[in-house]
Amino acid sequence: MRPYDAFLLISFGGPEGNEDVIPFLENVTRGRGIPRERLAEVGEHYFMFGGISPINQQCRDLVEAVRADFSANGVNLPVYWGNRFWDPLLTDTVAEMAKDGVRDVVALATSAYSCYSSHGAYIVDIETAREAAGPDAPRIDLVPPFFDHPGFVDPLVEHTRQALERLPAGERDSARLLFSAHSIPTDMAEASGTPEQGYGPNGAYVAQLAAVARLVSERLGVDNAHEVVYQSRSGPPSQPWLEPDVNDRIEELAGEGVSSVVVVPHGFVSDHMEVMYDLDHEAADTARGLGMHFARAHAPGTHPRFVSMVRELVTERAAPDAGVARLSDLPTCPADGAGCCRVRPVAS
Ligand SMILES: CC1=C(CCC(=O)O)c2cc3nc(cc4[nH]c(cc5[nH]c(cc1n2)c(C)c5CCC(=O)O)c(CCC(=O)O)c4C)C(CCC(=O)O)=C3C
Ligand SMILES: [Fe+2]
Protein backbone atom coordinates (compact mmCIF):
# COMPACT_ATOMS: atom_id res chain seq x y z
CA MET A 1 0.00 0.00 0.00
CA ARG A 2 1.17 3.52 -0.77
CA PRO A 3 2.40 5.74 0.73
CA TYR A 4 3.17 3.44 3.63
CA ASP A 5 5.39 0.38 3.70
CA ALA A 6 4.86 -0.73 7.33
CA PHE A 7 2.47 -0.51 10.26
CA LEU A 8 3.78 0.13 13.79
CA LEU A 9 1.87 -0.46 17.04
CA ILE A 10 3.22 1.71 19.85
CA SER A 11 2.35 0.87 23.42
CA PHE A 12 3.34 1.63 26.99
CA GLY A 13 5.12 -1.62 27.86
CA GLY A 14 5.07 -3.45 31.15
CA PRO A 15 7.28 -5.80 33.19
CA GLU A 16 7.11 -9.55 32.59
CA GLY A 17 8.82 -10.81 35.75
CA ASN A 18 9.76 -9.61 39.24
CA GLU A 19 13.24 -8.57 38.11
CA ASP A 20 11.75 -6.22 35.50
CA VAL A 21 9.53 -4.25 37.90
CA ILE A 22 11.95 -1.69 39.37
CA PRO A 23 13.82 -0.95 36.11
CA PHE A 24 10.44 -0.56 34.35
CA LEU A 25 9.19 1.88 36.99
CA GLU A 26 12.46 3.82 36.71
CA ASN A 27 11.92 4.13 32.96
CA VAL A 28 8.35 5.37 33.42
CA THR A 29 9.07 7.92 36.12
CA ARG A 30 12.46 9.33 35.04
CA GLY A 31 12.33 13.09 35.60
CA ARG A 32 8.62 13.06 36.48
CA GLY A 33 8.78 14.00 40.19
CA ILE A 34 6.86 10.94 41.43
CA PRO A 35 7.28 10.44 45.21
CA ARG A 36 9.29 7.39 46.29
CA GLU A 37 6.38 6.06 48.39
CA ARG A 38 4.08 6.05 45.37
CA LEU A 39 6.68 4.06 43.41
CA ALA A 40 7.04 1.49 46.19
CA GLU A 41 3.27 1.16 46.34
CA VAL A 42 2.90 0.68 42.58
CA GLY A 43 5.79 -1.83 42.64
CA GLU A 44 3.76 -3.91 45.10
CA HIS A 45 0.83 -3.99 42.66
CA TYR A 46 3.10 -5.63 40.09
CA PHE A 47 4.74 -8.00 42.61
CA MET A 48 1.26 -9.22 43.60
CA PHE A 49 1.01 -10.63 40.07
CA GLY A 50 4.52 -12.11 39.94
CA GLY A 51 5.87 -8.93 38.35
CA ILE A 52 3.88 -9.63 35.19
CA SER A 53 1.81 -6.92 33.59
CA PRO A 54 -0.69 -8.28 31.08
CA ILE A 55 -0.07 -5.39 28.68
CA ASN A 56 2.70 -6.98 26.58
CA GLN A 57 0.71 -10.16 25.94
CA GLN A 58 -2.29 -7.99 25.06
CA CYS A 59 -0.11 -6.22 22.48
CA ARG A 60 1.11 -9.53 21.07
CA ASP A 61 -2.50 -10.63 20.74
CA LEU A 62 -3.45 -7.35 19.06
CA VAL A 63 -0.50 -7.59 16.66
CA GLU A 64 -1.57 -11.13 15.67
CA ALA A 65 -5.20 -10.04 15.23
CA VAL A 66 -4.16 -7.02 13.12
CA ARG A 67 -1.91 -9.21 10.93
CA ALA A 68 -4.78 -11.63 10.32
CA ASP A 69 -7.20 -8.78 9.59
CA PHE A 70 -4.74 -7.05 7.23
CA SER A 71 -4.16 -10.22 5.25
CA ALA A 72 -7.90 -11.08 5.10
CA ASN A 73 -8.55 -7.60 3.69
CA GLY A 74 -5.70 -7.25 1.23
CA VAL A 75 -3.65 -4.79 3.30
CA ASN A 76 -0.12 -5.77 2.51
CA LEU A 77 1.91 -4.14 5.29
CA PRO A 78 4.36 -5.76 7.70
CA VAL A 79 3.37 -5.17 11.33
CA TYR A 80 5.93 -3.97 13.88
CA TRP A 81 5.51 -3.31 17.62
CA GLY A 82 7.50 -1.10 20.00
CA ASN A 83 6.94 0.14 23.57
CA ARG A 84 7.83 3.39 25.28
CA PHE A 85 9.03 1.82 28.55
CA TRP A 86 9.78 -1.89 28.18
CA ASP A 87 10.93 -4.52 25.70
CA PRO A 88 10.44 -4.50 22.80
CA LEU A 89 11.51 -0.86 23.11
CA LEU A 90 10.39 1.60 20.45
CA THR A 91 14.01 2.70 19.88
CA ASP A 92 14.99 -0.90 19.04
CA THR A 93 11.96 -1.40 16.78
CA VAL A 94 12.68 1.81 14.84
CA ALA A 95 16.32 0.74 14.44
CA GLU A 96 15.11 -2.65 13.17
CA MET A 97 12.76 -0.99 10.67
CA ALA A 98 15.63 1.16 9.41
CA LYS A 99 17.73 -2.00 8.97
CA ASP A 100 14.86 -3.67 7.09
CA GLY A 101 14.76 -0.76 4.66
CA VAL A 102 11.35 0.51 5.80
CA ARG A 103 10.83 4.13 4.66
CA ASP A 104 7.28 5.26 5.50
CA VAL A 105 5.46 4.05 8.58
CA VAL A 106 1.90 4.54 9.78
CA ALA A 107 1.73 4.14 13.56
CA LEU A 108 -1.06 3.72 16.09
CA ALA A 109 -0.69 4.19 19.85
CA THR A 110 -2.65 2.05 22.31
CA SER A 111 -4.03 5.27 23.73
CA ALA A 112 -7.23 6.89 22.48
CA TYR A 113 -7.29 10.43 23.94
CA SER A 114 -5.51 13.79 23.73
CA CYS A 115 -3.13 15.03 26.44
CA TYR A 116 0.63 15.02 26.93
CA SER A 117 0.73 11.55 28.57
CA SER A 118 -1.61 9.89 26.11
CA HIS A 119 -0.56 11.53 22.82
CA GLY A 120 2.22 14.13 23.05
CA ALA A 121 4.61 11.79 24.85
CA TYR A 122 4.17 9.24 22.05
CA ILE A 123 5.05 11.90 19.43
CA VAL A 124 8.15 12.93 21.40
CA ASP A 125 9.27 9.32 21.89
CA ILE A 126 8.87 8.63 18.15
CA GLU A 127 11.17 11.56 17.43
CA THR A 128 13.73 10.37 19.99
CA ALA A 129 13.70 6.86 18.51
CA ARG A 130 14.10 8.23 14.96
CA GLU A 131 17.05 10.39 15.98
CA ALA A 132 18.70 7.39 17.63
CA ALA A 133 18.23 5.32 14.46
CA GLY A 134 20.15 7.90 12.42
CA PRO A 135 19.82 8.93 8.78
CA ASP A 136 18.10 5.69 7.68
CA ALA A 137 15.25 6.14 10.18
CA PRO A 138 11.84 5.82 8.51
CA ARG A 139 9.28 8.61 8.46
CA ILE A 140 6.59 7.79 11.05
CA ASP A 141 3.02 9.15 10.95
CA LEU A 142 1.09 8.65 14.19
CA VAL A 143 -2.68 8.27 13.80
CA PRO A 144 -4.33 11.00 15.94
CA PRO A 145 -6.47 10.10 18.99
CA PHE A 146 -9.37 7.82 18.02
CA PHE A 147 -11.60 8.10 21.11
CA ASP A 148 -14.76 8.78 19.08
CA HIS A 149 -14.24 6.15 16.38
CA PRO A 150 -17.06 3.56 16.30
CA GLY A 151 -14.38 0.85 16.48
CA PHE A 152 -13.44 2.12 19.93
CA VAL A 153 -16.93 3.07 21.16
CA ASP A 154 -18.93 0.03 20.00
CA PRO A 155 -16.80 -2.61 21.78
CA LEU A 156 -17.26 -0.53 24.95
CA VAL A 157 -21.02 -0.56 24.40
CA GLU A 158 -21.03 -4.35 24.04
CA HIS A 159 -18.73 -4.87 27.03
CA THR A 160 -20.79 -2.53 29.22
CA ARG A 161 -23.95 -4.47 28.33
CA GLN A 162 -22.18 -7.71 29.32
CA ALA A 163 -21.07 -6.17 32.63
CA LEU A 164 -24.62 -5.01 33.39
CA GLU A 165 -25.79 -8.58 32.74
CA ARG A 166 -23.36 -9.88 35.34
CA LEU A 167 -25.26 -7.94 38.03
CA PRO A 168 -28.27 -9.55 39.72
CA ALA A 169 -31.34 -8.90 37.52
CA GLY A 170 -32.96 -6.61 40.08
CA GLU A 171 -29.93 -4.31 40.17
CA ARG A 172 -29.48 -3.66 36.45
CA ASP A 173 -31.86 -0.77 35.97
CA SER A 174 -30.57 1.24 38.90
CA ALA A 175 -26.82 0.52 38.61
CA ARG A 176 -24.68 3.62 38.24
CA LEU A 177 -22.34 3.58 35.21
CA LEU A 178 -18.92 4.89 36.23
CA PHE A 179 -16.70 5.61 33.24
CA SER A 180 -13.13 5.49 34.49
CA ALA A 181 -9.98 7.07 33.04
CA HIS A 182 -6.42 7.63 34.22
CA SER A 183 -6.24 10.78 36.32
CA ILE A 184 -3.69 13.36 35.14
CA PRO A 185 -2.50 16.62 36.71
CA THR A 186 -5.11 19.36 36.15
CA ASP A 187 -2.50 21.54 34.43
CA MET A 188 -1.84 18.73 31.93
CA ALA A 189 -5.60 18.42 31.38
CA GLU A 190 -6.00 22.17 30.77
CA ALA A 191 -3.04 22.23 28.38
CA SER A 192 -4.62 19.48 26.23
CA GLY A 193 -6.91 21.87 24.33
CA THR A 194 -8.33 25.36 24.80
CA PRO A 195 -11.91 26.68 24.71
CA GLU A 196 -10.91 28.56 21.49
CA GLN A 197 -10.06 25.18 19.93
CA GLY A 198 -13.58 24.02 20.72
CA TYR A 199 -13.18 22.32 24.10
CA GLY A 200 -14.72 23.10 27.48
CA PRO A 201 -12.83 24.92 30.25
CA ASN A 202 -11.04 21.72 31.35
CA GLY A 203 -9.34 20.90 28.04
CA ALA A 204 -9.55 18.17 25.42
CA TYR A 205 -8.90 15.14 27.66
CA VAL A 206 -11.89 15.87 29.94
CA ALA A 207 -14.15 16.85 27.01
CA GLN A 208 -13.29 13.69 25.06
CA LEU A 209 -13.84 11.43 28.09
CA ALA A 210 -17.25 13.05 28.68
CA ALA A 211 -18.16 12.61 25.00
CA VAL A 212 -17.28 8.90 24.97
CA ALA A 213 -19.17 8.26 28.24
CA ARG A 214 -22.21 9.92 26.68
CA LEU A 215 -21.85 8.04 23.37
CA VAL A 216 -21.55 4.65 25.07
CA SER A 217 -24.56 5.37 27.32
CA GLU A 218 -26.68 6.53 24.37
CA ARG A 219 -25.75 3.55 22.21
CA LEU A 220 -26.46 1.16 25.09
CA GLY A 221 -30.03 2.38 25.04
CA VAL A 222 -30.54 2.16 28.81
CA ASP A 223 -31.60 4.86 31.27
CA ASN A 224 -28.90 4.29 33.88
CA ALA A 225 -27.27 7.48 35.16
CA HIS A 226 -23.62 7.76 34.12
CA GLU A 227 -20.61 9.88 35.05
CA VAL A 228 -16.83 10.07 34.55
CA VAL A 229 -14.46 9.18 37.41
CA TYR A 230 -10.66 8.97 37.61
CA GLN A 231 -8.25 6.33 38.84
CA SER A 232 -4.55 5.66 39.40
CA ARG A 233 -3.71 9.14 40.70
CA SER A 234 0.01 9.66 41.15
CA GLY A 235 2.25 12.66 41.78
CA PRO A 236 2.86 14.59 45.00
CA PRO A 237 -0.24 15.27 47.16
CA SER A 238 0.29 19.03 46.72
CA GLN A 239 -0.33 18.78 42.96
CA PRO A 240 -3.99 18.86 41.87
CA TRP A 241 -5.05 15.92 39.65
CA LEU A 242 -8.40 15.24 38.00
CA GLU A 243 -11.16 14.10 40.39
CA PRO A 244 -13.30 12.44 41.65
CA ASP A 245 -11.33 9.31 42.39
CA VAL A 246 -13.34 6.18 41.58
CA ASN A 247 -13.13 4.93 45.18
CA ASP A 248 -14.24 8.23 46.72
CA ARG A 249 -17.15 8.40 44.33
CA ILE A 250 -18.23 4.83 45.11
CA GLU A 251 -18.29 5.74 48.82
CA GLU A 252 -20.41 8.82 48.15
CA LEU A 253 -22.81 6.84 46.00
CA ALA A 254 -23.19 4.22 48.73
CA GLY A 255 -24.13 7.08 51.07
CA GLU A 256 -26.75 8.21 48.55
CA GLY A 257 -28.29 4.73 48.53
CA VAL A 258 -26.90 3.49 45.19
CA SER A 259 -26.54 -0.30 45.54
CA SER A 260 -24.69 -1.27 42.30
CA VAL A 261 -21.95 0.15 40.12
CA VAL A 262 -20.66 -0.87 36.71
CA VAL A 263 -17.17 0.48 36.08
CA VAL A 264 -16.23 0.99 32.41
CA PRO A 265 -12.50 1.68 31.86
CA HIS A 266 -13.16 3.87 28.82
CA GLY A 267 -9.86 5.72 29.31
CA PHE A 268 -7.90 2.61 28.30
CA VAL A 269 -7.52 0.29 25.35
CA SER A 270 -6.88 -3.00 27.18
CA ASP A 271 -7.34 -4.58 30.62
CA HIS A 272 -3.75 -3.92 31.75
CA MET A 273 -2.35 -3.57 35.26
CA GLU A 274 -4.03 -0.28 36.09
CA VAL A 275 -7.39 -1.86 35.26
CA MET A 276 -6.59 -5.18 36.95
CA TYR A 277 -5.25 -3.68 40.16
CA ASP A 278 -6.91 -0.30 40.55
CA LEU A 279 -10.38 -1.44 39.45
CA ASP A 280 -10.73 -5.23 39.84
CA HIS A 281 -8.85 -5.23 43.11
CA GLU A 282 -9.14 -1.80 44.74
CA ALA A 283 -12.43 -0.33 43.47
CA ALA A 284 -14.16 -3.72 43.65
CA ASP A 285 -13.05 -4.04 47.31
CA THR A 286 -14.31 -0.53 48.04
CA ALA A 287 -17.73 -1.36 46.59
CA ARG A 288 -18.07 -4.77 48.19
CA GLY A 289 -16.91 -3.39 51.55
CA LEU A 290 -19.88 -1.02 51.37
CA GLY A 291 -22.25 -3.86 50.51
CA MET A 292 -22.62 -2.81 46.87
CA HIS A 293 -22.68 -4.96 43.75
CA PHE A 294 -19.76 -4.33 41.41
CA ALA A 295 -19.13 -5.28 37.79
CA ARG A 296 -16.32 -4.14 35.52
CA ALA A 297 -16.64 -3.89 31.76
CA HIS A 298 -13.75 -5.03 29.57
CA ALA A 299 -11.71 -2.51 27.59
CA PRO A 300 -11.76 -2.98 23.77
CA GLY A 301 -8.71 -5.34 23.81
CA THR A 302 -8.85 -7.48 20.66
CA HIS A 303 -12.57 -7.05 19.94
CA PRO A 304 -12.98 -7.64 16.17
CA ARG A 305 -14.47 -4.16 15.68
CA PHE A 306 -11.46 -2.61 17.40
CA VAL A 307 -9.14 -4.64 15.18
CA SER A 308 -10.97 -3.56 12.02
CA MET A 309 -10.77 0.04 13.26
CA VAL A 310 -6.98 -0.24 13.18
CA ARG A 311 -7.16 -1.20 9.51
CA GLU A 312 -9.68 1.55 8.75
CA LEU A 313 -7.50 4.19 10.39
CA VAL A 314 -4.50 2.96 8.40
CA THR A 315 -6.27 2.88 5.04
CA GLU A 316 -7.98 6.21 5.66
CA ARG A 317 -4.64 7.76 6.43
CA ALA A 318 -3.16 6.37 3.23
CA ALA A 319 -6.09 7.86 1.25
CA PRO A 320 -7.09 10.95 3.28
CA ASP A 321 -10.05 11.74 1.03
CA ALA A 322 -11.78 8.62 2.35
CA GLY A 323 -12.70 10.50 5.54
CA VAL A 324 -12.43 9.11 9.04
CA ALA A 325 -15.47 7.71 10.87
CA ARG A 326 -16.13 9.82 13.97
CA LEU A 327 -19.06 9.91 16.37
CA SER A 328 -18.44 13.27 18.09
CA ASP A 329 -18.00 16.75 16.70
CA LEU A 330 -15.02 17.57 18.91
CA PRO A 331 -12.08 18.93 16.93
CA THR A 332 -9.28 16.56 15.93
CA CYS A 333 -5.80 16.91 17.33
CA PRO A 334 -3.17 18.19 14.88
CA ALA A 335 -0.84 15.35 13.83
CA ASP A 336 2.17 16.97 15.50
CA GLY A 337 0.22 17.77 18.70
CA ALA A 338 1.24 21.43 18.43
CA GLY A 339 -0.65 23.69 20.82
CA CYS A 340 -2.27 20.85 22.76
CA CYS A 341 -0.87 17.39 23.47
CA ARG A 342 2.64 18.48 22.80
CA VAL A 343 2.61 20.78 25.83
CA ARG A 344 4.30 18.98 28.70
CA PRO A 345 3.63 20.76 31.98
CA VAL A 346 6.65 20.85 34.28
CA ALA A 347 6.41 18.18 37.00
CA SER A 348 5.99 20.01 40.32
C1 LIG B 1 -3.19 9.27 30.62
C2 LIG B 1 -2.45 8.02 31.02
C3 LIG B 1 -2.60 6.74 30.50
C4 LIG B 1 -3.56 6.32 29.40
C5 LIG B 1 -2.93 6.48 28.05
C6 LIG B 1 -1.91 5.42 27.70
O7 LIG B 1 -2.25 4.23 27.78
O8 LIG B 1 -0.79 5.77 27.33
C9 LIG B 1 -1.69 5.90 31.18
C10 LIG B 1 -1.51 4.53 30.91
C11 LIG B 1 -0.70 3.63 31.59
N12 LIG B 1 0.04 3.89 32.71
C13 LIG B 1 0.72 2.75 33.07
C14 LIG B 1 1.60 2.63 34.15
C15 LIG B 1 2.09 3.70 34.89
N16 LIG B 1 1.77 5.03 34.77
C17 LIG B 1 2.49 5.79 35.69
C18 LIG B 1 2.44 7.17 35.85
C19 LIG B 1 1.59 8.08 35.18
N20 LIG B 1 0.63 7.76 34.23
C21 LIG B 1 0.04 8.93 33.79
C22 LIG B 1 -0.98 9.02 32.82
C23 LIG B 1 -1.43 7.95 32.04
N24 LIG B 1 -1.00 6.64 32.10
C25 LIG B 1 0.64 10.03 34.47
C26 LIG B 1 0.30 11.47 34.26
C27 LIG B 1 1.61 9.50 35.33
C28 LIG B 1 2.55 10.26 36.25
C29 LIG B 1 3.92 10.30 35.69
C30 LIG B 1 4.01 11.13 34.44
O31 LIG B 1 3.70 12.33 34.48
O32 LIG B 1 4.36 10.57 33.39
C33 LIG B 1 3.34 4.89 36.41
C34 LIG B 1 4.33 5.29 37.49
C35 LIG B 1 3.81 4.98 38.83
C36 LIG B 1 2.66 5.91 39.17
O37 LIG B 1 2.95 7.08 39.30
O38 LIG B 1 1.55 5.41 39.21
C39 LIG B 1 3.07 3.60 35.93
C40 LIG B 1 3.69 2.30 36.40
C41 LIG B 1 0.40 1.72 32.11
C42 LIG B 1 0.97 0.28 32.12
C43 LIG B 1 0.03 -0.64 32.83
C44 LIG B 1 0.60 -2.04 32.88
O45 LIG B 1 1.76 -2.22 33.28
O46 LIG B 1 -0.13 -2.96 32.53
C47 LIG B 1 -0.47 2.26 31.21
C48 LIG B 1 -1.08 1.59 30.01
FE1 LIG C 1 0.10 5.78 33.65
Number of H helices, E strands in the chain: 12, 8
Decide whether any atom of ligand 1 lies within 6 Å of the 118 Cβ. yes
Decide whether any atom of ligand 1 lies within 6 Å of the 292 Cβ. no
DSSP state of 276: I
What's the CATH architecture for 6-146+303-322? 3-Layer(aba) Sandwich (3.40)
**Tens place of pLDDT for every residue, the chain, 348 residues?**
558 999 999 999 999 999 999 999 999 999 888 888 888 999 999 999 999 999 999 999 999 999 999 999 999 999 999 999 999 999 999 999 999 999 999 999 999 999 999 999 999 999 999 999 999 999 999 999 999 999 999 999 999 999 999 999 999 999 999 999 999 999 999 999 988 888 988 999 999 999 999 999 999 999 999 999 999 999 889 999 999 999 999 999 999 999 999 999 999 999 999 999 999 999 999 999 999 999 999 999 999 999 999 999 999 888 866 667 899 999 888 877 887 788 777 654
The answer regarding whether domain 150-296 maps to CATH 3.50.50.60 reads no
Whole-number CA gyration radius for the chain: 20
Cβ–Cβ < 8 Å for 63, 8: no
Q: Which ligand is nearest to the CA of 29?
A: 1
Cβ–Cβ < 8 Å for 12, 55: yes
CA 249 to CA 283: how far, in whole Å? Answer: 10
From-to residues of CATH 3.40.50.1400 in the chain: 6-146+303-322, 150-296
CB neighbourhood size of 175 (10 A) = 24
Supply the ipTM of this predicted assembly: 0.95
CA 208 to CA 112: how far, in whole Å? Answer: 9
CB neighbourhood size of 188 (10 A) = 25
How many whole angstroms from 74 Cα to the centroid of ligand 2? Answer: 35
User: Atom 8 (ligand 1): residue with closest C-alpha?
Assistant: 118
